[in-house]
Amino acid sequence: MSHEATAPETVVLRGARPYGEDQVDIVVRDGVIAELAPPGTGSAAVVVDADGLVALPGLVDLHTHLREPGREDAETVETGSRAAALGGYTAVFAMANTLPVADTAGVVEQVWRLGQEAGLVDVFPVGAVTVGLGGTQLAELGAMAGSAARVRVFSDDGKCVHDAVLMRRALEYVKAFDGVIAQHAQEPRLTEDAQMNEGVLSGVLGLTGWPAVAEESVIARDVLLAHHVGSRLHVCHVSTAGSVDIIRWAKARGIEVTAEVTPHHLLLTEDLVRSYDPVYKVNPPLRTSADVEALWEGLADGTIDVVATDHAPHALEDKDCEWGAAAFGMLGLQTALSVVVQTMLLTGRLDWRGVADRMSVAPARIGRAHGHGAGVQRGATASIVLVDPEATWVVDPEGLASKSRNSPYRGMELPAQVRHVLRAGRITVRDGELAS
């Protein structure tokens, strides 16, 4: 099934406010922003009422699990693309931990092609660093980079590249094609059977702890390695105050490291685990409020470059069980922007330009997603999300586009709603619904 249709030649987004600033008519012609005209002056066959809506560059998710191939019962490229589009995204990076693992040109091209067929967002496959995520032998990184999917981000996400030599080689090797290693920082021996953040609460609940040091020690090692070999490093889902400190230190030293934080680590804390409800089980685990505050600060000051969803759909049976047996992960694509608005914008930690940078510009730059994160300005590719900043909505997992239901925000009222999305000039979401 293909949503790819001919883009109308001209679309006017009437009365939009780029980055929440002055109202304009955004005139889109041939997939490009032709001009920002005074409000009410633009005319075209297709006029979208964007009165008062905030216009941002289409969001880019550097960290998504689309589960295809292998776990199509939890998500497919198609359903994940829908969730992404409805969440305001125009591009997503699909993680490699599929079945089979995306560790060959064949698998990444398949995912790439499925994304094109779905036609709602650009799906950039992430290539595995090691064969089968096994952590022992480099996957054919060059072949994936040279494939039709043009892979630039490599990650064993879900597993840590814990072998220091292998990590060093990977960092070095991808320099040849401007790639980046996105590390899931988790020292495996320190986190055997880990179930939640290690602290007072894990001791009380009798759940095996996932200590902050297991994340921080790997990040510390990796920034030093990246420095040593002169490579760029990306750190996935930073979750602890100590990690923020290490990355801040590394950036101050000029080390080429970037980092992401998930929406759930910006909003939720380990206290939710008291319920033993596996919807709150995630890797890295929900941490303490002190960690959350450090993440806010790190994201605000640019230590953390990106908000990435780590959207991790799971079939019902993998969550509707006891904590210990449940899978790690939470949905995120359709709630990310709202959570960032709640935690960062409404609190004054970021303005809309800041939100655009962390959710579009920076991830596009890190992932080399050409044509994304170009900004709402004349001459840029017209990938735009229009957000109603005043609206609030109550999260109902049954109403989300994902195949899975494991949203930790069930019943929560969140601010800001995505109204319209354009990808390269074509409307993918209109009035909060997928455009047919």
Partner 1 sequence: MRHLLSAADLDAEAAILVLDTAAELAAVTDRSVKKLPTLRGRTVVNLFFEDSTRTRISFEMAAKRLSADVINFAAKGSSVSKGESLKDTALTLEAMGADAVVIRHHASGAPHRLATAGWIAGAVVNAGDGTHEHPTQALLDAFTLRRHLRGGTGGLDGLRVTIVGDVLHSRVARSNVLLLATLGADVTLVAPPTLLPTGVHEWPCRVSYDIDEALPSSDAVMMLRVQAERMHDAYFPSAREYSRAYGLDRDRLGALPDHAIVMHPGPMNRGMEISAEVADSDRAVMVEQVTNGVSVRMAVLYLLLGGSTGEK
Q: Which residues of the shown chain bind partner 1 in the complex (CB under 8 A)?
A: 195, 198-209, 211, 275-277, 317-318, 320-326
Residue closer to partner 1, measured from CB, 84 or 214: 214
Backbone φ and ψ of 258, nearest 5°: -125, 160
Q: Give the nearest distance from C-beta 323 to partner 1 in angstroms.
A: 5
Give the residue with the Cβ less far from partner 1, 206 or 348: 206
Q: How many CB atoms lie within 10 A of CB 397?
A: 18
Annotated active-site residue in 25, 61, 222, 310: 310
Distance of closest approach, residue 203 Cβ to partner 1, in angstroms:
3
18 Cβ contact list (under 8 Å, min separation 6): 24, 26, 36, 54, 55, 56, 376, 377
How far apart, in whole angstroms, are the C-alpha atoms of residue 53 and residue 90?
18
Three-state DSSP class for residue 224: helix
- Measured from the CB atom, the residue of 314 and 403 that comes closer to partner 1 is 314
Beta-strand pair 122-125/54-57: unpaired
* Residue closer to partner 1, measured from CB, 211 or 432: 211
Which of 333, 327, 337 is CA-nearest to residue 283?
327
Count of Cβ atoms closer than 10 Å to residue 130 Cβ = 23
Pair 72, 95: CB distance under 8 Å: no
Q: What is the DSSP string of 245-285?
A: HHHHHHHHTT--EEEEE-HHHHH--GGGGGG--GGG--SSP
Q: At its nearest, how many Å lie between partner 1 and the CB of residue 407?
A: 17
Query: Would you say 30 or 192 has its CB closer to partner 1?
Result: 192
The torsion defined by the Cα of 268, 291, 93 and 311, in degrees rounded to 10, comes to -20
Do residues 74 and 58 touch, judged by C-beta distance below 8 A? no
212, two tokens: 């902050």
Q: Which is nearer to partner 1, 140 or 320 (CB)?
A: 320
Going by DSSP bridges, is the β-strand pair 24-29/10-18 parallel, antiparallel, or unpaired? antiparallel
Q: Tell me how far, at minimum, the Cβ of 201 lies from partner 1, in Å.
A: 7
> Which is it for the CA torsion 131, 65, 229, 243, positive or negative?
negative
Min dist CB 199 to partner 1, Å, is: 6
Nearest by Cα to 192 from 211, 173, 179: 211
- Cβ 208 to partner 1, closest distance in Å? 8
User: Does residue 30 have an active-site annotation?
Assistant: no
Burial level of 203, CB count in 10 A (0-12/13-18/19+)? exposed
CB of 325 to partner 1, least distance (A): 2
Nearer to partner 1, 248 or 287 (CB): 287
- The strand pair at 54-57 and 384-394 is best described as antiparallel
* Token pair belonging to 168: 């060093």
Label the pairing between strands 306-307 and 89-94: unpaired
Return the number of the residue (301 or 396) whose C-beta is nearest partner 1: 396
Active-site annotation, residues: 310
